[in-house]
Each structure stands twice: as structure tokens, then as C-alpha cells.
Homo-oligomer: A and B are copies of this chain.
């Protein structure tokens, strides 16, 4: 009797662990797609490739569907398994993460739409250097945040949080130069505005990567560091001997 019950609970816990692993796997798949969307949107812009831009725009549906599917999975796990402690934090972190990934997907699709109007206008406006530079930066942030999530790596997560500040300052500088270009050449206002929207989208993607990184710290350490100034973070407490 004792043995049967043990075997039974071992079976349940094995099944449960499997479900949690599946959640992570699906989140990573969604993350991979979203990363690719950002990369393709920027490539479409820089290469003037309107077909690629259209594909990014249309693929946004796939990202959205993934969010709904993963969220349903999370709800099922919560209802059936009633997880506690770190398992509960994992499920909640996944729910929060799908929301940020979905918004990164939205931003990629906005970039693609602005790329399309730039290609149609046949202009190669100023600001592409800045776009390329910042896009590489935020793509690295997204990639690192996802890796940190997959590996429960709080040190990598913290580096993403700190990275976000430098993206913000690059963004401010780039916006200032674009405004100068506009004033110098008012005929370019409309195309430079499109580039500004693209930069703004990239800056938002950086913010979402920052959020993803914060969830990693939450799920590993149980600390909610959203809204904490990165300079105020206590590295030892976060990275500690976990």
C-alpha cells in the first residue's frame, strides 16, 4: 500500500515536472520566433526588402496564437497541479513573459510596417546607422534574457537589466540627431518620422527584455525587482550562493 502510494505520487511529480519543462520549452520556442521577427524586421528595413517586411507583419498572428496557447497551458497547470513556492513562481513568470514576448512581436510588426512605408517612399533616410546599432544591442538583450530564463541564470539576467540603461541613452542621442536632420531638411520629415517610430519600437523592445530578465530574478530568488533602480540592486542578495 505504502509503496503503491509512493509510486503513485512519484508518477504524479514526474508528470508535473514534465509539464513545467514543457512550459519552459514552449516559452523558448515563442522567444525564438519573436527574436527572429525582430531580426527580420530590421533586415527588411536596412535591405529595403518589402516582401520580408510583409512576412514579418503577417507572422505576428503566429506569435499571438502562441501566447494564447501557452497562457492556457499555464492556467491548466495552476488549476490541476496547484503548484506552490518556486513552481508557482515559474508558472507566473511564464505568464508574465508571454505578455512581454507578445509585445516585442507587436513592436517587430510596427518596425516592419514602417519599413514598408519607407520602401514605398523610395527614400533611404538618415538614421539607419543608429537603427542598426541599437537593434543589435536590443536583440542581444532579448537573446540574453531568454538564455537567462532557460538556465535560471540570475547573473546574466542582471547584466540585461543593467544593459537597458545604455540602450536608453543611445536612443536619446539618436533621436536628437534625427531631430536635427529634420530641421535641416524639412522635406525629409515624413521619412525621418518613420525612422523615429522604428527607434522608439527598438527602445520598447529593450524595456521588454529588461522585464523578462526581472522575471528570471523573481522566479529564481523570489525577489520582485521591477521598479528598482539597477544601481540600487544588491548583487550579493541576487546572485548569492543559490
Contact = CB atoms under 8 A, between A and B. Distances in A.
A124 interface: no
Interface string A60-71: 010011011001
A60 B224 CA distance: 17
Interface residues of A, number: 31
Interface string A63-97: 01101100110010011001011001100100110
B183 A227 contact: no
A28 interface: no
A46 interface: no
Contact of A183 (B61, B88, B89, B186): B186
Nearest to A182: B189
Interface of A: 61, 64-65, 67-68, 71-72, 75, 78-79, 82, 84-85, 88-89, 92, 95-96, 99, 179, 182-183, 186-187, 189-190, 193, 200, 224, 226-227
